[in-house]
């Protein structure tokens, strides 16, 4: 019984350590982007049939996701195993501008998706992806 209690306590502490680790939390937040962007990308490329309602649902989810990861970049969280470049903390105005650009692009994609105009959706999806690429270029290690 004592060993079981100790093992449970160790798992609880390990879980709390993970939850308190901003690098792990932001990686987890960004991991949620992949299936959403992936499905939308397949529709835009014609790899799967375009479905207006499903695309709009995914665009709304992406806009919601775009609000989340930034809280996991507190000062001092650039040390250790992370893909974040130090410029996040050394150039906070540039970092904030990249975040704002991304949030604006995802909000616009959400609105454009509601129109069902596939040409406009493709253009805005591309513009939204560019905000991701720009941020990765300037603020993420390869």
pLDDT of residue 138: 96
Quote the pLDDT of residue 123: 98
User: Closest by alpha carbon to 61, among 42, 38, 41, 33?
Assistant: 33
pLDDT tens digits for 98-141? 999 999 999 999 999 999 999 999 999 999 999 999 999 999 99
| Phi, psi dihedrals of residue 51, rounded to the nearest 5° | -125, 110
76 Cβ contact list (under 8 Å, min separation 6): none
Separation of alpha carbons 109 and 84, rounded Å: 26
Contacts of 87 (CB under 8 A, 6+ apart): 94, 95, 138, 139
pLDDT of res. 12: 45
């Amino acid at each position: 019984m004592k060993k079981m209690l100790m093992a449970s306590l160790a798992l609880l502490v390990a879980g709390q350590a993970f939850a308190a680790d901003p690098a792990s939390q932001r990686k987890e937040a960004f991991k949620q982007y992949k299936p959403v962007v992936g499905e939308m990308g397949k529709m835009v490329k014609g790899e799967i049939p375009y479905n207006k309602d499903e695309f709009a649902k995914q665009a709304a989810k992406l806009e919601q996701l775009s609000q989340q990861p930034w809280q996991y970049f507190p000062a001092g969280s650039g040390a250790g195993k992370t893909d974040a470049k130090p410029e996040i903390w050394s150039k906070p105005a540039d970092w904030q501008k990249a975040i704002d650009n991304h949030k604006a692009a995802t909000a616009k994609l959400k609105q454009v998706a509601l129109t069902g105009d596939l040409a406009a959706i493709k253009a805005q999806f591309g513009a939204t992806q560019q905000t991701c690429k720009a941020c990765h270029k300037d603020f993420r290690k390869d």
